[in-house]
């Protein structure tokens, strides 16, 4: 007697399948490539969107960040891009150059819910390439200082430093108390982000002449370079790579160093991994600058719509929905990702989170990285040359000249194409 039941089930399945893909469903299907854990979490926001927009159905395809960049480029080469995706804002210049994304200003101007003034200016600017906006900031990150309150207090400092001279005084005091066994600050030699954050604090850009030449051998960058290298030369920072220490939170917990520069992802990580005895003994602070509070890197993830999409209007509706402050607050509650709109920061849990305060302040002072597709290669060269400078093989000035030479070599093709009149 089980057969009829089975047959009934099959018929029900077939009926539901027909309903799912038959002519009765005339909804627009949006293909949304969502990278990282956010791709999983964003699906919880979509039922509400589909209820508000019954004519649109969203299909989320999740990609791991580690494979996202090659997947995007392959899709562009193979002309099989989705309708929209989220992407790191440092990839926007590259995809814009590939003419894979549509410009968004006109849509922003016409949108009743998106107000440019509500966004952090530096983050917004990181999505602007050649005067055109190609991505809408979704969630943001930047680098701030993580520091040990107890170690600073023991050295006689009640508050974190706000300028380089103050910072050097704190580091000197920490060094005198540590007898050479511990350090003031840890900047891993395999991570270029701290140096780039400090370099962005200067008004001179790192590339010049329409981003066709390195601009490292000048007094401003060299001031940053000398400051950075001196941290190692004076014994404030250990000349180590991440592989040389057990891991950051263990060493931070042990007090091996008092300052570390990182992003919002490490707040949760530190809360989970540091011993309970350190609760309340560490805090975040905005970056000190050469003469007072300084800038940091405009990081984060943007939403972008693809040029090859045949549903650009529907994709934009989804971008608008995900950008609403209320939706951003829900997204923050689900992921812990910092919202890109100031008005979303009024959410109670975010406004009262002491660790988020430094990020909130820093986000008002963030600057975009140079907007060339070659930037990541240039940054890697910065890391390699700087390691040699720190190890004393080059003086900071020779290091800056070497950086210019290597950057000019990387940008050679860009220079030649621009000289030949190409529009990049």
Partner 1 sequence: MTPARAGVLLASPALAVIAVFFFFPVLAAFALSLTDFDIYALADLSNLRFVGLRNYAQLLATPLFWRALGNTLYFAGVGVPLSIGASLGAALLLNSRAARCRGLFRTALFAPVVTTLVAVAIIWRYLLHTRYGLINYGLSRLGIPAVDWLGNPHTAMPAIILFTVWKSFGYNMVIFLAALRGIPETLYEAAELDGAGAWARFVRVTLPLLAPTLLLVSILTVAGFFQLFAEPYVMTQGGPAESTVSVLYLMYEQGFKWWNLGTATAVAFVLFLMMFAVTLAQLFVARRTATL
Q: Which range in 160-168, 169-177, 239-247, 328-336 contacts partner 1 by CB under 8 A?
A: 239-247
Binding partner 1 (rule: CB under 8 A), the pick from 177, 241, 388, 391 is 241
User: Which residues, including other chains, have CB under 8 Å from residue 101's CB and lie 6 or more apart?
Assistant: 92, 95, 134, 135, 304, 305, 306, 307
Q: Does 75 bind partner 1 (CB under 8 A)?
A: no
Q: Does 414 bind partner 1 (CB under 8 A)?
A: yes
Contact by Cβ (8 Å): 198, 224 = yes
Rounded distance between C-alpha atoms, residue 235 and residue 215, angstroms: 28
Residues 175-214 that bind partner 1 (CB under 8 A): 190
Binding partner 1 (rule: CB under 8 A), the pick from 94, 141, 320, 402 is 94
Q: Does 415 bind partner 1 (CB under 8 A)?
A: no
Residues 270-329 that bind partner 1 (CB under 8 A): none
Rounded distance between C-alpha atoms, residue 75 and residue 275, angstroms: 45
Binding partner 1 (rule: CB under 8 A), the pick from 48, 66, 80, 275 is 66
Q: Which of residues 109 and 420 has its CB atom nearest to partner 1 in the complex?
A: 420
Q: Which of residues 59 and 242 has its CB atom nearest to partner 1 in the complex?
A: 242
Rounded distance between C-alpha atoms, residue 115 and residue 108, angstroms: 8
Q: Does 250 bind partner 1 (CB under 8 A)?
A: no
Number of residues that this document lists for the chain: 424
Binding-site residue total for partner 1 (CB under 8 A)?
23
Residues 349-378 that bind partner 1 (CB under 8 A): 373, 377
**Cα–chain-centroid distance for residue 223?**
25
Q: Does 76 bind partner 1 (CB under 8 A)?
A: yes
Rounded distance between C-alpha atoms, residue 107 and residue 58, angstroms: 20
Q: Does 35 bind partner 1 (CB under 8 A)?
A: no
Rounded distance between C-alpha atoms, residue 286 and residue 302, angstroms: 23
Rounded distance between C-alpha atoms, residue 315 and residue 318, angstroms: 5
Contact by Cβ (8 Å): 224, 202 = yes
Binding partner 1 (rule: CB under 8 A), the pick from 97, 226, 274, 405 is 97
Positions touching partner 1 (CB under 8 A) are: 66, 69-70, 73-74, 76-77, 94, 97-99, 190, 241-243, 373, 377, 384, 413-414, 417, 422, 424
């Amino acid at each position: 007697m089980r057969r009829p039941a089975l047959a009934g089930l099959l018929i029900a399945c077939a009926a539901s399948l027909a309903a799912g893909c038959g002519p009765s469903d005339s909804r627009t299907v949006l293909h949304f490539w969502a990278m990282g854990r956010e791709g999983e979490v964003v699906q919880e926001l979509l039922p509400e969107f589909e209820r508000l927009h019954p004519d649109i159905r969203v299909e989320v395809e999740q990609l791991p960040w580690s494979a996202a960049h090659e997947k995007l480029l392959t899709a562009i080469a193979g002309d099989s891009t989705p309708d929209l995706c989220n992407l790191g804002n440092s990839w926007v210049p590259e995809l814009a150059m590939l003419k894979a994304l549509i410009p968004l200003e006109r849509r922003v101007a016409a949108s009743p819910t998106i107000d440019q003034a509500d966004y952090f200016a530096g983050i917004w600017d990181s999505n602007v390439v050649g005067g055109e906006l190609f991505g809408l900031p979704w969630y943001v990150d930047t680098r701030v200082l993580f520091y040990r309150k107890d170690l600073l207090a023991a050295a006689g400092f009640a508050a974190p430093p706000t300028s380089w001279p103050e910072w050097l005084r704190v580091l000197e005091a920490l060094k005198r108390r540590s007898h050479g066994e511990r350090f003031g600050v840890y900047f891993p030699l395999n991570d270029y982000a701290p140096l780039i954050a400090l370099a962005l604090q200067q008004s001179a850009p790192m590339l010049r002449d329409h981003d066709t030449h390195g601009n490292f051998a000048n007094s401003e960058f060299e001031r940053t370079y000398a400051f950075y290298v001196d941290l190692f030369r004076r014994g404030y920072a250990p000349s180590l790579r991440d592989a040389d220490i057990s891991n950051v939170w263990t060493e931070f917990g042990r007090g091996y160093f008092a300052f570390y520069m990182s992003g919002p992802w490490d707040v949760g990580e530190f809360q989970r991994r540091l011993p309970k005895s350190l609760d309340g003994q560490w805090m975040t602070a905005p970056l000190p600058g050469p003469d007072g509070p300084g800038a940091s890197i405009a990081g984060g993830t943007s939403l972008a719509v693809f040029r090859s999409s045949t549903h650009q209007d529907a994709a934009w509706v989804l971008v608008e929905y995900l950008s609403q402050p209320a939706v951003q607050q829900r997204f923050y509650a689900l992921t812990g990702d910092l919202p890109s709109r100031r008005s979303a920061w009024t959410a109670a849990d975010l406004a009262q989170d002491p660790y988020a305060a430094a990020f909130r302040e820093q986000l008002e002072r963030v600057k975009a990285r140079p907007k060339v597709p070659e930037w990541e290669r240039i940054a890697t060269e910065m890391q390699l040359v700087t390691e040699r400078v720190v190890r004393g093989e080059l003086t900071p000035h020779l290091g800056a000249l070497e950086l210019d030479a290597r950057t000019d070599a990387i940008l050679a093709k860009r220079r030649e194409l621009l000289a030949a009149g190409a529009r990049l």
